[in-house]
A and B are shown apart, each in its own frame.
Chain A
Amino acid sequence: MSRRPLTLLVLALGCLFGLSATANASQSALLFSTTSKDVRISGSGKAMRVSLPANAALSWFTDRPARQAGSSTAAFLVNGWQANGFNVDAPNAALVTTAKGVTMQTIVTLRNPRLSNGRVSFRYSVLGKGAMLGMETTGHPRAGRYNGELFVDDATLAPCSAGDNYVTSSFYQCVTSGVHDYRYLNNARDGWQTTYACGTGLQVHHYAVGNVTYNLKACPQYTAVGSSQRITFDYGGSFPSVSYSQNSFLGVPSGVTIVMAFDAPCGLTANPASGLLTCIVPAGSSVSIDRPSAGNTRINACGINGASSLTYDSTAAGVLNHSAAMGACDNYTAIADVPNDIATVVIHASVDTKLLLNAG
């Protein structure tokens, strides 16, 4: 049996995982720093685990040149594990442990996350002898309790902030962690902002219609879970507060990816039957477009955060990774046509990109 189809399938699945871990361009790569007075090392040999309280304070911040930061709890490291692609490509981390005035620093790879009994834990392997710094002692930390710190690279999706109002531009993406009240307030644009989510299950309380449970699709196939009208500073405090509380996420399973945007994320494929379709391609992800109806489908694009460029593959034009400039939104630039029923164009977005597909 030829192994090629299997190879292609594996690569395609790899791409799907990559897509599911896509971030806002403005969020770039994220790093996590968590500190606890109750870090526990257990196990022996190659079966070492490190655990800390699930509610230990966690800071996240972006790689330069972005300057974004926020806070959550250590539980997010487990709840956001899959959304950040750590299940496919495990994160490296610096593990700093202090006991009886002695500090050690070890570089490890974290795997096998668990969340139980109010604690998160990870199996870890030491990256190499050269990675271990014996500061006041030599050797790796033994089983025991420590004051500890974990510094973890290199995620793509930030945790949603509980109880906060999001003041977004036109597009915001984050991962939920636990049951919280997620509300948002948008003051950036006219119109209604829609919240989309992917993952496993989601219970949303709509103030107008009550609780609704959504059976979400696997990421990055998003489902609209509610809309909310914009609040402007012009309205000030006189605007009814219920309007921006229309989406209160009551029962949020861990790891659900939430996108707040004016237009739906494109998902893996976008095929307008006829007329116009507008959707968003998050930075770092791709969308495949073919032509289910008669005539051409023209692909127009604009950069959500300003003029930029994208690349595309076109089976009709016979090009791969072809670069095309695009204007700022909503000044669309014609990118490519999908002219026949077996042609496909795959758009690769390096920045948050909005597509306008004109079929007919």
Chain B
Amino acid sequence: MRPIIRISTLVTVIALGALIGTSAAAAAPSTLFSITATNAAVTGTKGNMRVSIPASSSMSWFTDRPGRTAGTATASALVAAWPIQHFDTDPPNAALVTTRKGKTMQTIVVLSDPRTKGRRVSFRYRVLSDETMLEMETTGRPTLGTYARASLFVDDAPMVFCPATFNASTPIGTTPATGYKCLMTANTTYQVSGHSPWLNVQGCHPASSTGGGYVHWVDSLWDNFDYYSAYDYNDVGPLPVCKSDFSAFAQIADEYAATNCPDCDPRYYSESLTFSSTDALTLLSTYRVN
């Protein structure tokens, strides 16, 4: 019997270890960014190189596996979110892919010092090492000048941008600091659904982002005939500047489905909160109030 006891003990302990590892990994997925620009300019001198792209360049973001969340924003949102992603204290690595006259080069860099000037954003970069540079059809690092296309693949941010729709039925916690947090970009509509029984939504704006605007929210109801009702709506703002301990959140909206629609049959009705913000960037936290 002794070997059986040992094997079962080992399996149990390893299984517990696997559970612990799984829960830890699931708690903190990181976010990656892929920016594709229709033009780019490389400027500067050795040791102080910069790459600039249009601020409106399309940016996709996606979570590390096992997360399967993705969404879109623009390069300007990455710049505005820089400090809140802790990129100011621990700058991100990135793959910089540049194309000119049909020739493509790929270089691994560290990005820092993001700037916005007019309709362009720029980043200082340094090449991680010569070994990291892949000479594909041309030789040497990207030279000064303009490029017809450029891509930036950027690791590894702790904060996601808000998906267009997201489900808050299982928020992480019951305070703004422990709730589900994401970043809203300006004039984009987001829909929060699935909350139960009570949901609070609070927000703040990053210091690096333009503030002073307001968040517009609508409490909405759809029935199974696509009949739409707006129960309540409001404008909230200006929001306070975010603090690292999330103590600066302002209440935006709360929701208690059973109160708003006591006769609603959940089989035929769905209810959600819809948000949009005039601030360039807004940090949103949704959490459950028990």
Contacts and interface: CB of A to CB of B under 8 A. Distances in A.
* A, B assembled together: yes
Interface of A: 7-9, 11-12, 14-16, 18, 29, 31, 33, 35, 37, 57-59, 61-65, 67-71, 89-92, 94, 96, 98, 103, 105-107, 109, 127-128, 130-133, 135-136, 147, 149, 151, 153-154, 269, 286, 288, 290, 313, 315, 320-321, 341-342, 344, 346, 348
Nearest to B94: A61
Contacts of B120: none
Contacts of B60: 94, 105-107, 131, 133
Contacts of A341: 2
Given A15-B17, A57-B134, A67-B128, A130 B164 contact: yes
A344 B131 CA distance: 45
B14 A15 contact: yes
Contact of A128 (B64, B70, B92): B70
Contact of A313 (B11, B16, B131, B134): B16
A31 B97 contact: no
Interface string B12-54: 1111111111100000001010101010000000000000000
Interface string B73-95: 00000000000000000111101
A61 B18 contact: no
Given A315-B9, A342-B6, 15 more contacts: A12-B15, A29-B156, A33-B97, A35-B136, A64-B155, A71-B131, A89-B65, A106-B60, A130-B165, A133-B72, A151-B32, A153-B62, A290-B6, A344-B6, A346-B14
A92 B29 CA distance: 12
**From B59, B128, B134, B136, residue with most partner A Cβ within 10 Å:** B134
A58 B108 CA distance: 11
Given A65-B90, A135-B58, A153 B17 contact: no
B196 to A, nearest CB: 23
B61 to A, nearest CB: 8
Given A35-B97, A69-B108, A130 B156 contact: no
Contacts of B97: 33, 35, 149
A150 to B, nearest CB: 9
Contacts of B71: 130-131
B66 interface: yes
A316 to B, nearest CB: 11
Interface size class of B (residues with CB under 8 A): 35 or more
A289 B251 CA distance: 52
Given A103-B38, A133-B72, A321-B20, A92 B63 contact: yes
Interface in B162-219: 163-165
Contacts of B2: 341-342
B58 A8 contact: no
A91 B65 contact: yes
B144 interface: no
A313 B5 CA distance: 17
B100 interface: no
**From A33, A105, A136, residue with most partner B Cβ within 10 Å:** A33
Contacts of B155: 29, 31, 61, 63-64, 153
B205 to A, nearest CB: 23
B248 interface: no
A341 B65 CA distance: 40
B153 interface: yes
A96 B104 CA distance: 13
Nearest to A58: B134
30 contacts: A8-B12, A12-B11, A16-B14, A29-B64, A31-B153, A33-B97, A37-B137, A61-B95, A63-B30, A67-B128, A70-B131, A71-B134, A89-B65, A92-B32, A94-B62, A94-B153, A107-B62, A127-B68, A127-B69, A130-B70, A131-B60, A131-B71, A131-B72, A136-B38, A147-B104, A149-B97, A149-B151, A151-B95, A313-B17, A315-B9
Given A12-B11, A59-B134, A127-B70, A151 B34 contact: yes
Contact of A154 (B38, B64, B110): B64
A61 B11 contact: no
B134 A69 contact: no
B129 interface: yes
Contacts of B72: 130-133
B108 A59 contact: yes
B234 interface: no
B149 interface: yes
Contacts of A89: 65-66
B265 to A, nearest CB: 29
A127 B15 contact: no
B10 interface: yes
A35 B104 contact: yes
Interface string B128-170: 1101101011000000000001010101100000011100000
A259 to B, nearest CB: 21
B189 to A, nearest CB: 12
A315 B64 CA distance: 34
B13 A315 contact: yes
